[in-house]
Amino acid sequence: MKTIDELLADGVSGKRVFVRADLNVPLADGTITDDGRIRAVVPTIKALADAGAEVVVASHLGRPKGAPDPAFSLLPVAERLAELLGTPVAFAEDTVGPAAHAAVDGLEPGQVAVVENLRFNAGETSKDDTERGEFADQLAALADVYVGDGFGAVHRKHASVYDLPARLPHYAGYLIAREVGVLKKLTDDVERPYVVVLGGAKVSDKLAVIDQLLGKADRLLIGGGMAYTFLKAQGHEVGISLLQEDQIPAVKEYMERAEKNGVELILPVDVLVSPEFPDLKTKAPSQHTVVDADKIPADQEGLDIGPKTRELYASKLVDAKTVFWNGPMGVFEHPDYAEGTKAVAQALVGSDGFTVVGGGDSAAAVRTLGFDENAFGHISTGGGASLEYLEGKTLPGLAALED
């Protein structure tokens, strides 16, 4: 895999460089609530612009249905990118049409343009190779060179991620190079003890990675909504908590394998429960109590790990040399149920080991809860991509960057 440093060494002045970024940031009424993914790609864009390249930045945002939708416009992203770069950024109101070509043709060396949401075009996400290829041909007409730096999208076989690199000289940007280097530290030559913290809503989303980690990790700490399927598999009442009944057989098998392999699989010993889900808009105080994990009332829902579990998990992280964390411990968006996630983040901050926050809601939680990002070894920009890499899958966007 060639890197951007090799591209810069060859010289890019006057060349049009297409940067496939991951600018899929959360928006609330058109306002960006977390610009982490934009900031993550700035070093690549700035290095190219400083070297005299004409930089064309492209990304998707949200899940539009293959047609323009103002709710998913990249205009706010382009405006924020301009602020971070400290220079004007042109914005094209289409992706491969007249506006895109006008914006790109108007670039001078060192200037940057952002084209509109790639998913406004059905060819970007098409399952049909020909349709996807035709869209990739249109994108290729905008540039001379391709730089892949959208790590959060490399697990997708999409036109701009998988097909376009085959049509242009291609290189990995700084972000992708760093993400892959970090993931290799979690898979190839791991320093031990190796502790993995998994949370989030659905256990089905994590089964494949648990399957792989049972042969690699020393400890697995389970929290979030997925923990209640594990507790149910142990025969406990989980009330109206999030539960995937159909996953119980697989969970039982994994618990047995963990014991057989000498992997500590640790579940909550107490939880915060409430008769109703909290209001995340108003953040109004919510009625809740703490109960032992095996005593959840039938009419209550588990929404966070309890204080004993926070202490237990912190104690299991204190001596870790490598930590991977993916998924919050509870409904961290509400202050009443943020303490479990906060406790895990604080334990990672206090760790002497190499700590990786695996993107998605975990990365959002770190920022929402006010932690210094530099206090962690690495905060990934791609939760899904990180998990699929750890599962041992071939990621289309990385395969496409290989020579």
Q: Among candidates 142, 136, 168, 149, which has minimal Cα distance to 48? A: 149
Q: How far apart are alpha carbons 131 and 350 in whole angstroms?
A: 50
What is the rounded CA–CA span in Å between residue 228 and residue 226? 5
Q: For residue 392, what are the CA distances in angstroms to 183, 184, 186, 385, 386?
A: 11, 11, 12, 11, 10
Is 216 an active-site residue?
no
Q: Would you call 360 a catalytic residue per the annotation? A: yes
The set of residues, in sequence order, having a beta carbon less than 8 Å from that of 394 and lying 6+ positions away, is: none
Pick the catalytic residue: 202, 216, 252, 321?
202
Catalytic residue among 327, 359, 384, 397: 384
User: Do you find a cis peptide bond into 328, omega within 30 degrees of 0?
Assistant: no
Q: Is 384 a catalytic residue?
A: yes
Note if 37 is an active site residue: yes
What's the CA gap between 154 and 398, in Å, rounded?
A: 6
Catalytic residue among 306, 359, 360, 397: 360
DSSP string, 47-116: HHHHTT-EEEEE---S---SS--GGG-SHHHHHHHHHHHTS-EEE-SSSSSHHHHHHHHT--TT-EEE--
Is the distance from CB of 382 to CB of 152 less than 8 angstroms? yes
Helix (H) or strand (E) segment spanning residue 222: strand 219-222
Nearest-angstrom CA–CA distance, 19 and 61: 15
Catalytic residue among 16, 20, 37, 310: 37
Catalytic residues: 37, 202, 360, 384
